[in-house]
Structure 1
Amino acid sequence: MEGKKRGPKPASPATRKARAVASQAKYLRNRVPPAGGPGWRAFKVRIETFNKWRTAQHEMKLTHTDFANHLLQLHESRSSTPDHHRQKKRQGVPLLASTPSHRGARVPLHSDSSSSDVASLASTIHPDKSEENAPGTVSSVQQATVSIPQVMAEDLDLSVSFMEKGDFVFPHEKEEEDAIDDDFDPEFRLQRREQFTRDLLIVGEEEEEVLGDETDGQDEPEDFTRSGLHKKIGVEEAAEADLFIITGKRLKALAQEANPVCQQCQAAVYLTLRPANGTAAHITWVCPEGHQRGFCSQEMSGRSHVGDMMMSSAILLSGNNFDKIQKLATFARLNFLSKTTFQQQQANYIIPAIESHWERVQKETREKHHASPVVVCGDARNDSPGHCAQYCTYTFMEHTTNDVLHVGFVDKRQTASKSPNMELKGFKDGLEAMTENGLTVKEVVTDAHPSIAKNMRETRPDIVHSWDVWHGSKNLSKKLAKASTKAARRPLVYWVKHIIRHFWYCSKTCGGSVTKFKAMWHGLTHHVTNTHSWKAGLGGSTECEHGELDEREEWLGRGSEAHKALVQVCYDKRFINNFHHYINFRHTSMLESLHNHILMYASKRFSFQYPAYRARNLLAVIDFMAHKDRPDQLDKEGNPKYVAVWSKHGGDYVARKRKVPKTYTYVGDIMRDIFARRTADDQPMFRQALLRLDDPRRFQPRLAPFPPPPVADILARRAGRMELTESEAESEVD
């Protein structure tokens, strides 16, 4: 009998509704203090309307307060319409004016429904001062006569609010009116609303890009934000900025030494240091008179801190994993950006910059090979080991120059969720793409993939299809190693590496002749028995091409078990019939090296979304293309330098040349492009990313063929053996 489900009972609909009402009430109490009262007013404008307002603002030299005055008057004129309450219920976010309090909180200002809306704003800002001695408030321009375009009379869709200039924190206990700056000037600031994130310019707490006038009565440098907290720099300066690690105590000491007294009243200042939402730090100096000054440890590029953008870019450009770098920063107590920020910057700026750079590199490479037919090497690489891969990267490389001519990506959702079929699709798509881009392919070199061989025979007989000699010798060595496992065939082990070398020699010296290749291969079975001349069986020469040899004990006896096993492997019918694929002596060693290099950027032990996986593979190819022709290091005599490296496969040391160090010159170009995209972006950074046209999520959003069931159902189906239902537990107790 099936037992009852364990765990707390779910809340009833009435309980959930009561909880939601209580949460909403608590939010409103925290969001809108009681000073607001029931007289709050909601004003919204469409983004198109606001853009037209900004155009009119520059043409007519209007101010923020002109616009605010018009909004209040417009509201008054509409408040008497029959559908006013319905519009009010539909609109929702209040028009606020605020000023800093002694506890660092913003005090909202009340706007009643009478004709003195503007005056009430001024009286709330400073109750002890009249309308005339409160410059910078909305009331100071109440009598201003402005001609607002009729377009502003449209229905409003974008929340607009008055916000104080800068981030103010007053550290002392003072009366409310003493904590208010007489020079306070409200300014317009767009408030983030989730349903408008695709269409609006969102300004976050740390992004103080302000719409409107650049000054508030005092001259402000053009390269600073309106609050004076952040300094703006250009793309080149941002891409070449240097970052340092400094402790909080040393930063505070430096700030205290730089500004020990207030610059306006020469009074001692109180210094506060707080981390920003990222790698930057914000410093605020406040004097007893309420004069404040702010400083940010990093410049701004666009509306982002330079350090945040550089760290996000460096993580991806260096092939690192964000979670690991974030853990490093946590252990080192280093202020770091959030994963959400990294993902948004990666999707909106970093990946597009990588794609753009790769398009330029690929265009230049293809143009270099348009003049003559090319011999291309093709091979596939999966994103995970085994037969459960999700992505396949198929690469075509020019055989002589090692230039990468095409990089294609296949998702298993494009092959009916069958991973083994991805390589064939990647091959066909890549060959077609190169043809469409004006390349003439005369020969293709691949491994001995049976599906690709069949496709080439049936659809592209005009192109020569060669097989990689390295893959062919590798398969041959596997067969010989298996044949020599029995004790009677043990003498064959000595000859395996010599047979592989002879296979390479036959492919290299046959001159494109299948007959000569077979003749030299035929002599192998005689040579191992110390017989160096034979009757022509497969045509060609009838004797070995080497000179006199020393006596050896490793010669095989003719007709022995080891010799029979060798003959069986070397004269396999399928193996002999495929000799024509090896007569051009083609190999894909550099392509294999490239695919091994991709592991640095996209490890098979981590999973990535399609855009990130694609970008990481392209970064590896860009890195390879930039450094494939590096010269060798030379010693004092001008000879190449070598280093001894242990070969686990060969069981011995091998000598490898040393290359000059990499320079990564392309990183600076990509970094400048990233900052240029961030600076030119007029959309909110936290927005939904657009999918590429070839993104597999366009036609199937998930790998699974159907949506997931409730988790409770999954747990019920997979109850462990050690888990007992309530009825079973009661029966055991009885």
Structure 2
Amino acid sequence: VSDFPEMPNVCFVKTCRHQTGKNVRKGLRFFSLPEKEPRRTAWLRCAGRGHDIENLPLIPCFCAEHFEPTAFRKDDLRRSRLRSDAVPTLLLPVADETDDPPPKRQKVVTQASATGLPAPCEAEMTLRDCTAETNIPAVVPPVPVADVPAQSHPPESAFSTCSSGVPYECTSPVPSNMPDSDATYSPSHSEDYERIEHGASAPPPPPEEERQFLVFESCLRELFKTCQECSRLCQTTIETTGTLITVYSICPVEHVRTWKSQPIVNGRPAGNILLTSHLVFSGVKIAPTLRMLRHMNVQVISDSSFYEHRKAFALPAIHKVWLQEQQELLNELQNKEVDISADGRFDSPGFCAKYLTYTVHVEQINKILHSVQVQLKESEQAMASVNMEKEGLLKQLQFFKEKGIKIRSLVTDRHPATRKHMKTHEPGIDHFFDIWHISKSVKKKLTAASKRAGCQDLQIWIQTATNHMYWSARAAGGDEKLLIDIWLSMHNHVINKHSGHEGTYGRCLHGDMPEPTRPWMDPNSQAYNQFKSITGNKLLLKDLAQMSPHGQTYALEAFHSVLIDFAPKSQAFSPEGMLAKTRLAILHFNENSNRCQAVTREGKPRWSVVTSKARKGHHTARPEITDPTYKYVGKLIKEAMESSKQWRSLAAASRANTVVFPAPMTAAYTRPPKEELVAARMSRFGHSPQ
């Protein structure tokens, strides 16, 4: 049982329809007037009773319809407790009504005469959830009695869009001293009041930071069903401009209202810019995504409009943000010697590639510093796909020289042209080969040999040979002679001979061998001869001497896995589109290259079991990495919006951000008119198709 007096169901707001206590909706909550200043005075001013402070009722109350959803506590789903700084903001009297004193004489309307009044205005109940119009005062002018029939209760349909479904109860009694835990209690600090005063006039957040919602047309029309000024039914028209929705409503007495669903940025709907930018920056396929939205009847921009916005704002934003990040990395590497790895990636499988993306990864910072795009036949040195990788390397070396960064070592694959150029023209750079590429080649040859007759024993030693190659490079520490001796000692190890090896590596370091987990090879078998022939090949030993003892290209292989999400090899792209997608993938890779291992709730490292297809069902434990982040997208969106504010015309923005690329290969040929090709077209059966 409450110790406080029962709170009346009468609203203290001057223009509220509940100020008489009649026809109060069941379950509507009421909140008592705060006792502490300056919040108390702020509530009185909002109610239009600032002049009537001396003649307050016993328990002044405000109904819940005058408070925005944000005024309630987040953890209170029933909306029964207000925040400590809550102030009524909805459906309040206009300025002239709040400032003028009440009239000395007021006309008393009896119940009989009230039956001719118009129905209670439901516009505020329909619009209370519309964020664009929540602060508009709901003041209904007098309407002739004969025009609108009377209603003692509003229809059920009027409450269907605004009722929360939770019954309202009066849970805010007025004690003499409110405790600090009370939702309506506010400490008496002047800064709280100042924050409230500026909150109503604070500018809205930028369009890219606002939340967006999926709204159905029927629900949207429900908001504009009645006139906000006279509560009559309105005729509503909806027009679309891309993602922008413009609603025009007019009532029988010609009260016109226009409402737009999104802000306008320099004459363009913000949603068109944001949709284009997010489609580009997320790396999704454009056509299927737009088609999916159209299947849902979601209003989107056309394909041509998308590509115009992309060229004008999205692609320049990618280039600008990437160049800024690249400059920061260059400043970090100034006056330092770096160890880099480089590798190329063709845009399509086979020998029909059009572009080569040649990328450089810096080991010291574990990030990609630069990437160049080589187009087939862009120069005399890139007339074939086999020559494009060397052209990419030359561009990368020139970039480092121009930026004044000294290269100490370079790790690449075993491309013959790369090896020759580094040996002839760059003797001051230590050139190493990536172990993974060499071990992959050896493993492939051993696997093929194990399928021959009498060579089945090779199968169980293939993975051992691969592991031994990695260990040899690490144990040698850059000593080429020692590396070769360690590698060739495996010829004795597989036949159970662990000492007396040739060269500087005289014996195995594993100590006494326990019971063997696999059978030893027979030194006189065909399998052993094949093993020695493959692992002791002279060309292989020459490449082993250049194996990298430290950095590898696995970081670039990981980047290629990221790049294929942004630029699949099964899809063709324009030169500018391919360059933008590559730089977008670099931004994503650099931001997430140093993620740590995820942990459980107990703080233990998280692991996952991976089954290798290449190793025929071999199971390994792999550490689970924390989820990737996408902070770079915020930078890109901000840059795209700033560019939109700068350029009034899409064409002017596109011309100002044009990047020059080599001419396409088809430019060297004359294109005949389409009419001639159609007339000359023949089917496989020798006659012209109809």
Question: CA distance change for structure 1 residues 535 and 237 in 2, over 3 Å: closer, same or farther?
Answer: closer
Q: SS in structure 1 opposite 2:639?
A: helix
Contact 2:243 2:300 in 1 (8 A): yes
Question: CA distance change for structure 1 residues 288 and 255 in 2, over 3 Å: closer, same or farther?
Answer: closer
Q: Deviations over 1:584-631 (max 9, x none)?
A: 243111111011101111111111111221111111110111111122
How far, CA to CA, are the matches of 2:374 and 2:656 in structure 1? 19
Contact 2:434 2:548 in 1 (8 A): no
Q: 2:687 aligns with which of 719, 724, 731?
A: 724
Q: Quick check: 675-684 or 361-370, which moved more?
A: 675-684
Contact 1:317 1:667 in 2 (8 A): yes
Alignment pair present for 1:645 and 2:610: yes
Q: 2:538 aligns with which of 573, 592, 603?
A: 573
Question: CA distance change for structure 1 residues 454 and 714 in 2, over 3 Å: closer, same or farther?
Answer: farther
* Cross-structure match for 2:377: 413
Q: Deviations over 1:278-334 (max 9, x none)?
A: 112111123456553321111111221121111111101110121011110121111
Q: Deviations over 1:226-257 (max 9, x none)?
A: xxxxxxx9995111021111111110111224
* Cross-structure match for 1:371: 335
* Cross-structure match for 2:402: 436
Alignment pair present for 1:620 and 2:589: no
Q: Deviations over 1:619-660 (max 9, x none)?
A: 111011111112222224433111222222221232222222
Alignment pair present for 1:596 and 2:565: no
Query: CA offset at residue 273 of structure 1?
Result: 3.0
The letter for the 2-side match of 1:632 is: Q
* Cross-structure match for 1:132: none
Alignment pair present for 1:349 and 2:318: no
Q: 1:332 aligns with which of 282, 296, 318?
A: 296
Q: Deviations over 1:514-539 (max 9, x none)?
A: 11111111211111111222352xx2
Contact 1:534 1:542 in 2 (8 A): yes
Query: CA offset at residue 384 of structure 1?
Result: 1.2
* Cross-structure match for 1:509: 475
* Cross-structure match for 1:496: 462
Contact 1:319 1:601 in 2 (8 A): yes
* Cross-structure match for 1:100: none
* Cross-structure match for 1:668: 634
* Cross-structure match for 2:100: none
Contact 1:235 1:672 in 2 (8 A): no
Q: SS in structure 1 opposite 2:353?
A: coil
Q: Which runs of 5+ in 2 are unaligned?
A: 1-201
How far, CA to CA, are the matches of 1:559 and 1:452 in structure 2? 40
Contact 2:682 2:688 in 1 (8 A): no
The letter for the 2-side match of 1:680 is: Q
* Cross-structure match for 2:673: 710
Contact 2:435 2:548 in 1 (8 A): no
Q: Deviations over 1:117-161 (max 9, x none)?
A: xxxxxxxxxxxxxxxxxxxxxxxxxxxxxxxxxxxxxxxxxxxxx
How far, CA to CA, are the matches of 1:341 and 1:725 in structure 2? 38
Q: 2:571 aligns with which of 589, 600, 606?
A: 606
How far, CA to CA, are the matches of 1:322 and 1:534 in structure 2? 65
How far, CA to CA, are the matches of 2:349 and 2:234 in structure 1? 59
Alignment pair present for 1:386 and 2:350: yes
The letter for the 1-side match of 2:519 is: E
How far, CA to CA, are the matches of 1:583 and 1:627 in structure 2? 25
Query: CA offset at residue 427 of structure 1?
Result: 1.1
Contact 1:490 1:562 in 2 (8 A): yes
Query: CA offset at residue 475 of structure 1?
Result: 1.1
How far, CA to CA, are the matches of 1:630 and 1:533 in structure 2? 43
Query: CA offset at residue 709 of structure 1?
Result: 2.2
Query: CA offset at residue 712 of structure 1?
Result: 5.2
The letter for the 2-side match of 1:276 is: T
Contact 2:484 2:545 in 1 (8 A): no
Q: SS in structure 2 opposite 1:659?
A: coil
How far, CA to CA, are the matches of 2:242 and 2:287 in structure 1? 15
* Cross-structure match for 1:238: 207
Q: SS in structure 2 opposite 1:598?
A: helix
* Cross-structure match for 1:464: 430
How far, CA to CA, are the matches of 1:420 and 1:238 in structure 2? 48
Alignment pair present for 1:323 and 2:292: no
* Cross-structure match for 1:695: 661
Contact 2:433 2:543 in 1 (8 A): no
Query: CA offset at residue 662 of structure 1?
Result: 2.4
Q: SS in structure 1 opposite 2:418?
A: helix
Q: Deviations over 1:379-436 (max 9, x none)?
A: 1111111111111111101124312111111111314552222211111101110221
* Cross-structure match for 1:292: 256
Q: SS in structure 2 opposite 1:559?
A: coil
Query: CA offset at residue 490 of structure 1?
Result: 1.4
Question: CA distance change for structure 1 residues 305 and 389 in 2, over 3 Å: closer, same or farther?
Answer: same
* Cross-structure match for 2:421: 455
How far, CA to CA, are the matches of 1:349 and 1:288 in structure 2? 44
Q: SS in structure 1 opposite 2:565?
A: coil
Q: SS in structure 2 opposite 1:401?
A: coil
Query: CA offset at residue 506 of structure 1?
Result: 0.5
Q: Which runs of 5+ in 1 are unaligned?
A: 1-232, 730-734
The letter for the 2-side match of 1:534 is: G
Taking structure 1 as the reference length, what is the TM-score of the superposition? 0.63
Contact 1:507 1:584 in 2 (8 A): yes
How far, CA to CA, are the matches of 1:337 and 1:419 in structure 2? 38
The letter for the 2-side match of 1:720 is: S
How far, CA to CA, are the matches of 1:552 and 1:640 in structure 2? 30
* Cross-structure match for 2:173: none
Q: SS in structure 1 opposite 2:300?
A: coil
The letter for the 1-side match of 2:387 is: N
Question: CA distance change for structure 1 residues 400 and 725 in 2, over 3 Å: closer, same or farther?
Answer: closer
User: What does 1:193-204 align with in structure 2 at a 5 Å threshold?
Assistant: none
How far, CA to CA, are the matches of 1:345 and 1:464 in structure 2? 46
* Cross-structure match for 2:547: 582
Query: CA offset at residue 376 of structure 1?
Result: 0.3
Contact 2:450 2:459 in 1 (8 A): yes
Contact 1:234 1:301 in 2 (8 A): no
The letter for the 2-side match of 1:511 is: G
Q: Deviations over 1:701-730 (max 9, x none)?
A: 55352132234554666633335359xx9x
Contact 1:344 1:686 in 2 (8 A): no
Alignment pair present for 1:534 and 2:500: yes
**How much is the aligned-residue C-alpha RMSD, in angstroms?**
2.4
Q: SS in structure 2 opposite 1:413?
A: coil
Q: SS in structure 1 opposite 2:666?
A: coil
How far, CA to CA, are the matches of 2:618 and 2:680 in structure 1? 54
Contact 1:394 1:408 in 2 (8 A): yes
Q: How many residues align?
A: 485
